[in-house]
Amino acid sequence: MEQLTALDAGFLEAEDSDRHASLAIGAIAVLDGPMPSPEAVADALSERVLTAPRLHQLLHTQPLDLGAPQWVEDPNFDAAHHIRYAALPCPGDDGALYRWAADIMERRLDRDRPLWECWIVNGLEGGRWALLLKVHHCIADGIAATRLLSRLCDDGAMNASGRTRQASMVFSPVGWLGDAWRISTGLPAATVQAVRGALGIVTGLLRPAAASSLTGPVTSMRRYATAEVALDDVATVCREFGVTVNDVALAAITDSFRNTLIRRGEKPSRDALRTLIPVSVRADDAHDRTDNRVSVMLPYLPVDQADPVQQLRAVHSRLSRAKASGQREAGNFLVSAAKAIPFPLTAWTVRALTRLPQRGVVTVATNVPGPRKRLRLMGCDIVRLLPIPPLAMQLRTGIAIMSYADRLVFGVIGDYDTAPDVDELARGIDRAVARLVDISVGHWRSTPVGTLQLVQGG
């Protein structure tokens, strides 16, 4: 039996802290038609899920949290409990797909079964069909979930690995003291920076962000929307300003949130949008492990700045400072430290913290590198891959960014009642990227008073 890490188990605690939260992550694969019969797709998927051990394992918790939850084989596993079929109402456009996906993602997964679902969806416009994979965040982070999806695709199973992560362990005081001693005497010099980064993360979580409509209680219903831009366009901006793809994506998110606050009649102040940005700490030899391996950065996105170039440069500068502060390394440090602490203590601490009002973080923006080549399923090309993040901890919006083939996709989730404008938030991201591209190719000019659009004379 394998056990969950403290980070994996933390997602269960976060879900338990709010009856309206669902900590499932998802992705919609849109495929070219014609669609094979649903029975044929379900039969193929039923075979392929057997190559991913986590998809036929149950979550087994220990009494009083005396040991970490464990993954155990489901003796009654039946893929039919997880693979389901749906048909969109006419006209089967993006709006219909997104409304349906939001309805699926808002429902909690059944913890009495393996924690995933896979939906086969017919009736998309243009003769297309779709597959929605939904897994609990305690199983996988974005990178691991993308690999799970790849395993379900054509030729994916032959690349699967069934290696386990670690043996099951229960709390032993003697063993804990030995682990603590080995960790404390083996800390490299870089750990000082990691500790500093961890303190920065804790400080950021405890310092309240400016009050706004972006945080607060949520309902159990969700809305979903997407924005899609060409990676070539993003690369143009990167070359012009010497920034990264993530910088461009976050600058576009910044501009859209600024407009959202203004549209709602609120002031986009400097401390209005502290954003939780997960950062992968997955080593090269762990890419086939199904688990969570992330740290976080907590920068303020510059919604107080109106100029798009200034926004982009501020994002680049703040992310660079966050990386230099050791926040990325803090993830590995905290995971190592958690191993040396009795699991009951970490579980009770996390449970207490997740039940406190959360005011430090306003939104989450996670960036997952997807496949650079198109995947295929049942002989059909996956033409679009749309990520879906979860909502929890008083956050009313969340954004997942994923590169796939030649596109960069933003999946925007929002609470149904308190974030009714997720469509406009997604469109704002699209417009912000387009404006940065225009600036990069010379249609705009940066001046001391801001970025000005050039007017073509007659």
Catalytic residue numbers, as ranges: 137
The structure tokens 């982009």 sit at: 312
Using DSSP bridges, classify how beta strands 275-280 and 294-297 pair: parallel, antiparallel or unpaired.
antiparallel
